[in-house]
Structure 1
């Protein structure tokens, strides 16, 4: 039997190890990226490193835009705005009770060109929504109660629904927010400096500083490592435990078989000597030749005379059968013991 618990733990350990290794590599890569203290220096660095591609840097500044979005509910001005609307309702389940549930009605996102500004220069950020570490601020969370008509409410009730209302959530990246961006810096033909996702390398847009990002990745790498070691140790323990039980079970079966065959050989010898050369036959009409002895495999003294239901095996006497809950041969659960009689 395959020890699925142990195998699952070992596979989980391998997955955690890979996650920890990935986090550790990202931390090492972040340590090696070029740090730009002032955005005005980035253009000069690009000219000096124009032969090195990709040129991955980390910059910091405040979010700005020439055409910011005015949020409808929160009144904030932002460069990325996500709006969601969820319909909340009660539904009648099969048990006859009402349970609360929700369904997404609307999900939309708006983004305008934006850049980081530190007072010395500006650098545009492209594709920030796909970057790691980006967290939008919840600008507004409004619940509008359902105002449906009596007819519509009655129809919903007959269908097993009670409309509660609509929950609208507005998430925004406000202007003026300090951010740290790690990515590939490029300069287009008109001299505009942008930072974007590199073909290979990290891409972060975060409220944390570069040092905080490195420390956070290192912490997660250590936690993943410790968790993988724990899962691996527990998985190997489960596999070793089941393997030990299997070996001991096979050893016990071999010892029982050996004892039964030895007892059968001795009994066959004594029966042969007592019958003066006459052949003796067992209960099934087969000659006793030491291969299929009809004695109890438990006590090795009495003849077996009990049939286990439902597996149908017959290998124990009535006395030993009364103490068993599973068949000694196939381990099936015994529901009934039927005594047999010789004719």
Structure 2
């Protein structure tokens, strides 16, 4: 049987190693990205002769020409998500009430927006699919259900007790400071955009570039140490299984040697005894192999293993076995036999 525990640890270590390499590679890409201190410099850099694609790291404040006004908080944002969950108590089969919820509404809005630092502006495209992009919760309101007698009775007959509706509003407000790492492009009308590169990471985060690099380096080190630990543990499990397998093989070889030695001794005794018997004794009565149990080598074997059908052990030793000593198949049943 293969050492699945050790192999699983080694495979997990390999996966963590790849994650660590990916995090370290992203950190190196962030370090090598062209940092733009003022957004007006990006336009000059794109107009000049430079190697494309150009991966840059910029910072600025969120702004938009057509911001969205939030319903509950009145905040003005560029990305708004609204969800509504119905919370209720449900009567289960055990006769008790458990709390549960169901999604009633999920709505998302986004308008074109850009980063502005006072010197220029850069539009951000596809930010919701970027790494590190989060929408902070702007409002979380719980509205209790009405106490209508008829409605409450109908819900109770269905095994429900309505508690209320929880409404959550997440928004990216205007004026939020963001750091963006991505590919800078300029279209025919002069609009500068930051988008996901064809190769490499794409980050939109409220953290600074230095904080992103430090965080990626920390995760890369953690993955490295975890990978090393799992590798050592996996090698230990594999080595332990291999040593046990070798010892088991040696034990079986030693047992086979003892059985063959006993068979040769028994055959010699039978040959000596046959010279003293009558010539009418047939050759088939000579025993070339002993009838001894291969485990204890003391009692005669009298147990047949099901389903393999081998008979090589006594009933006493067969009680302690789970697999056949000859073919290693699993023993479902040991049947005692009578040969005399």
Q: Take 1:103 and 1:75, find their aligned partners in 2: how far apart are those partners?
A: 27
Contact 1:325 1:334 in 2 (8 A): no
> How far has the Cα of 1:159 moved from its partner?
4.1
> How far has the Cα of 1:200 moved from its partner?
2.4
Contact 1:272 1:279 in 2 (8 A): no
TM-score (norm 1): 0.87
Q: Take 1:338 and 1:67, find their aligned partners in 2: how far apart are those partners?
A: 86
Q: Which deviates more from structure 2 when the two are superposed, residues 17-26 or residues 269-278?
A: 269-278
Q: Take 2:201 and 2:78, find their aligned partners in 1: how far apart are those partners?
A: 22
RMSD of aligned alpha carbons = 2.6
- Report what 2:245 is aligned to: 246
Give secondary structure in 2 for the equivalent of 1:180. strand
How many residue pairs end up in the alignment? 334
Q: Take 2:135 and 2:323, find their aligned partners in 1: how far apart are those partners?
A: 64
- Report what 2:255 is aligned to: 256
Q: Which deviates more from structure 2 when the two are superposed, residues 75-84 or residues 144-153?
A: 144-153
Q: Which deviates more from structure 2 when the two are superposed, residues 302-311 or residues 108-117?
A: 302-311
Contact 2:305 2:331 in 1 (8 A): no
- Report what 1:294 is aligned to: 291
Q: Take 2:329 and 2:109, find their aligned partners in 1: how far apart are those partners?
A: 65
Q: Take 1:53 and 1:306, find their aligned partners in 2: how far apart are those partners?
A: 80
Q: Take 1:202 and 1:17, find their aligned partners in 2: how far apart are those partners?
A: 18
Q: Do structure 1's residue 271 and structure 2's residue 287 form an aligned pair?
A: no
TM-score (norm 2): 0.87
Give secondary structure in 2 for the equivalent of 1:162. strand
- Report what 2:208 is aligned to: 209
**TM-aligned CA distance change 1:321 to 1:182, over 3 Å:** closer
Consecutive unaligned residues in structure 1, runs of 5 or more = none
- Report what 1:66 is aligned to: 65
Q: Take 1:136 and 1:318, find their aligned partners in 2: how far apart are those partners?
A: 71
> How far has the Cα of 1:266 moved from its partner?
0.3
Q: Which deviates more from structure 2 when the two are superposed, residues 170-179 or residues 267-276?
A: 267-276
Contact 1:81 1:170 in 2 (8 A): yes
Q: Do structure 1's residue 35 and structure 2's residue 32 form an aligned pair?
A: no
Contact 1:132 1:203 in 2 (8 A): yes
Q: Take 1:163 and 1:332, find their aligned partners in 2: how far apart are those partners?
A: 56
Consecutive unaligned residues in structure 2, runs of 5 or more = none
For residues 33-82 of structure 1, the C-alpha deviation after alignment (integer angstroms, 9 at most, x for no partner) is 11111122221111114x52112211111111222111112222111111
Within a 5 Å distance, the mapping from 1:58-207 to structure 2 comes to 58-147=57-146, 149-207=148-206
**TM-aligned CA distance change 1:62 to 1:313, over 3 Å:** same
Q: Take 2:150 and 2:8, find their aligned partners in 1: how far apart are those partners?
A: 54
Q: Which deviates more from structure 2 when the two are superposed, residues 59-68 or residues 241-250?
A: 241-250
> How far has the Cα of 1:157 moved from its partner?
3.9
Contact 1:68 1:79 in 2 (8 A): yes
Give secondary structure in 2 for the equivalent of 1:190. coil
Contact 2:308 2:329 in 1 (8 A): no
Contact 2:185 2:194 in 1 (8 A): yes
Give secondary structure in 2 for the equivalent of 1:106. strand
Q: Take 1:94 and 1:201, find their aligned partners in 2: how far apart are those partners?
A: 52
> How far has the Cα of 1:334 moved from its partner?
7.5
Q: Do structure 1's residue 44 and structure 2's residue 44 form an aligned pair?
A: yes
Within a 5 Å distance, the mapping from 1:2-41 to structure 2 comes to 2-41=2-41
Contact 1:280 1:288 in 2 (8 A): no
Q: Take 2:336 and 2:198, find their aligned partners in 1: how far apart are those partners?
A: 78
> How far has the Cα of 1:87 moved from its partner?
2.3
- Report what 2:313 is aligned to: 316
For residues 171-212 of structure 1, the C-alpha deviation after alignment (integer angstroms, 9 at most, x for no partner) is 111111111111222223333322222222332111111111
**TM-aligned CA distance change 1:243 to 1:126, over 3 Å:** same
Give secondary structure in 1 for the equivalent of 2:169. strand
Q: Take 2:127 and 2:315, find their aligned partners in 1: how far apart are those partners?
A: 78
